[in-house]
Amino acid sequence: MDPNSFTSTYLRNTFSCVPISSEVLEQTLILMSDTARYMNAVNIERYTILEMDVFVRTTSSDGVNDIDDQNASITTLLNLLEKVKLDDITSSIEQCAICLEEFCNESKLEIVRTKCMHVFHEHCIARWLKRCYITHQLYSCPLCRSQIQ
């Protein structure tokens, strides 16, 4: 039996439970085998046991799924909000309470109204809802704190 292939099989079985892709595992095993051979070659004291620490740092892709969940839930909420035209807005409301920009016909920004009858730019309330999501708070109106759902 080729001693190298025994080593590889042994290492592969030992490390198969590590949650990394087979490509990364393969590369890691090659590095470990090479390092072990090198350690043995320079082992002039003839120690019978040589220690090697191997650190494999993995990052999960959960963060990506989080962003998908977040975008999906905020898009759902935004679709529930009433889209309003500038002409429909009573004269008492002239500006977005979030960015304090005056609503104007020239800007192509979508305007939405919450159930509590507060009016915001769609992208401004979207940013607010994102903040609610990130800080684990209920989706609420930034003006009156009524729940948005």
Chain residues binding Zn ion by CB under 5 A are 96, 98-99, 116, 118, 121, 124, 141, 143-144, 146
C-beta closer to Zn ion: residue 50 or 80: 80
Nearest approach, Cβ of residue 124 and Zn ion (Å): 3
Nearest approach, Cβ of residue 60 and Zn ion (Å): 35
Nearest approach, Cβ of residue 85 and Zn ion (Å): 16
Q: Count Cα neighbours of 89 within 13 Å in the Cβ-side half-sphere.
A: 24
C-beta closer to Zn ion: residue 121 or 126: 121
C-beta closer to Zn ion: residue 31 or 116: 116
